[in-house]
Amino acid sequence: MFAGFWSVLGVLSAGQFYFASIRLGVPVDWPHALLWSLADWYIWAAIAPFLLVLAQRFPLERPRLAGHLAVQVGATIAAAAAYAWLRAVVGWAQAAADDQPRTLASVLEGLLLKSWHLDLLIAWAIVAAGHAHAFQRRSHERALRTAELARRAAELEQGLARARLQSLQAQLNPHFLFNTLHGLSALIHRHPDTAERMVIRLSELLRHALDRAETQTVPLADEIAFLDRYLEIERMRFGERLVVRRELGPGTLGVSVPSLILQPLVENALKHGIEPRARGGVITIRSRLDGDWLELVVADDGPGLRGPPPAGRVGLANTRERLQQLFGLRQHFDLANGPEGGAVVTLRFPSHPEPEPVAVP
């Protein structure tokens, strides 16, 4: 490719020389025009690699800009002088071959007078091309390093986010287990058969929770199925005092949701909305699609909030933080009193529907 480039320059220069000689009335035959022009550019082809290497080794960049510029000014002058000397030798040989002998000094003098300034420009053009290539290579290397650093930073950020999510999810299991065991202790002496069934259901539920320990998202249908197992245990404590209603909108069961996102909200409703009242109450679980968003609601008909929403409840704080980790600003968490009493927790986050599974009975 390198030789081809200089050959093309030689052919183009030969064509210009050939037609110009015809117009001036001193025609030169094509073989001679081509031979003289190729000799010009092949000498430059021999000198060019040294100028290109100098351009790469002495880049025109601070803090050594002045020193490097001085080196390259000297190098271009030397290159132009080297070209003139070599071309004079070749021209002297060509003249002798054409039976037009000339002295080497006269050939060199003619070259210096006619083309010294042009030779300097060619030398500088080669140096400029070397600088352009070196700059492009350095820019490409910087871009690759930047991309690699960005990739590593993204991997680190994703790893930290996964670790944070796993930590948050791991907090749910002991918290849930503690509260369930607390309820179990109240049944052991009064209703031992019920307590035994509760232990069996609890072991099944914990096994299911452990199987999902590494899973951050599941279809809403799976989350509802897990919630049903949990509510089966709680019904052993509350009996007919606990009523659960589900209002699951069409198309929502296949939407991916954070694993164990509903259980802490239902547990909070049980503890603060149902347990304090002798007659119990109703918990309502709703889901609906709103454009590209999924809305989940857990509501109770208990006494509601008295004062500002509590900030220290583990399940609620955990749920809020998990949503922030998973969706950033594209999520909404709200705890407030319902229009007809009771507390209402509303979650909103982007929906990513999957194939609709079989409906949960």
Q: Is the pLDDT of residue 361 over 60?
A: no
Q: End of a domain among 151, 178, 200?
A: 151
| One domain, residues 123 and 203 | no
Q: What string of H, E and C letters represents the secondary structure of the chain?
A: CHHHHHHHHHHHHHHHHHHHHHHCCCCCCHHHHHHHHHHHHHHHHHHHHHHHHHHHHCCCCCCCHHHHHHHHHHHHHHHHHHHHHHHHHHHHHHHHHCCCCCCHHHHHHHHHHHHHHHHHHHHHHHHHHHHHHHHHHHHHHHHHHHHHHHHHHHHHHHHHHHHHHHHHHHHHHHHHHHHHHHHHHHHHCCCHHHHHHHHHHHHHHHHHHHHCCCCCEEEHHHHHHHHHHHHHHHHHHHHHHEEEEEEECCCCCCEEEECCCCHHHHHHHHHHHHCCCCCCEEEEEEEEEECCEEEEEEEECCCCCCCCCCCCCHHHHHHHHHHHHHHCCCCEEEEEECCCCCEEEEEEEECCECCCCCCCC
Q: What is the CATH number of the domain that holds 296?
A: 3.30.565.10
What is the per-residue pLDDT for 309?
58
Is residue 162 a part of any domain in this protein? Answer: no
Domain that residue 46 falls in: 2-151
| One domain, residues 145 and 199 | no
| One domain, residues 141 and 282 | no
pLDDT tens-digit readout, 227-252: 998 898 888 878 889 999 999 999 99
Mean of pLDDT values over 48-54? 79
Is residue 233 a part of any domain in this protein? Answer: yes
What b/e sequence results for 112-130 when a residue is b if at least 16 CB atoms lie within 10 Å of its CB, and e otherwise? Answer: beebeeebbebbbebbeeb
Is residue 156 a part of any domain in this protein? Answer: no
d(C-alpha 62, C-alpha 280), whole Å: 79
What is the per-residue pLDDT for 357?
43
Retrieve residue 11's tokens: 């052919």
| One domain, residues 204 and 286 | yes
Is residue 166 a part of any domain in this protein? Answer: no
Q: End of a domain among 95, 123, 151?
A: 151
pTM score, two decimals?
Answer: 0.53
User: In residues, how long is the chain?
Assistant: 361
Is residue 214 a part of any domain in this protein? Answer: yes
| One domain, residues 134 and 223 | no
| One domain, residues 134 and 206 | no
Quick one: pLDDT band at residue 30, thresholds 50, 70, 90? Answer: low
What is the per-residue pLDDT for 4?
67
Quick one: pLDDT band at residue 95, thresholds 50, 70, 90? Answer: low
The most confident of 11-20, 92-101, 298-307, by mean pLDDT: 298-307
* pLDDT higher at 322 or 172: 322
Mean of per-residue pLDDT scores for the chain: 77
Is residue 163 a part of any domain in this protein? Answer: no
pLDDT tens-digit readout, 166-216: 554 555 456 666 766 776 776 777 777 777 787 888 777 777 766 666 677
Q: Is the pLDDT of residue 360 over 60?
A: no
| One domain, residues 227 and 316 | yes
What is the per-residue pLDDT for 296?
97
| One domain, residues 22 and 145 | yes
| One domain, residues 126 and 196 | no
What is the per-residue pLDDT for 104?
67
* pLDDT higher at 134 or 95: 134
Is residue 320 a part of any domain in this protein? Answer: yes
In angstroms, how far is the first alpha carbon of the chain from the final one?
73
- Cα 132 → chain centroid: 30
| One domain, residues 99 and 18 | yes
| One domain, residues 329 and 227 | yes
| One domain, residues 70 and 125 | yes
User: What domain count does the chain have?
Assistant: 2
Is residue 251 a part of any domain in this protein? Answer: yes
pLDDT tens-digit readout, 125-172: 877 877 787 788 888 888 888 888 777 767 666 655 555 555 545 554
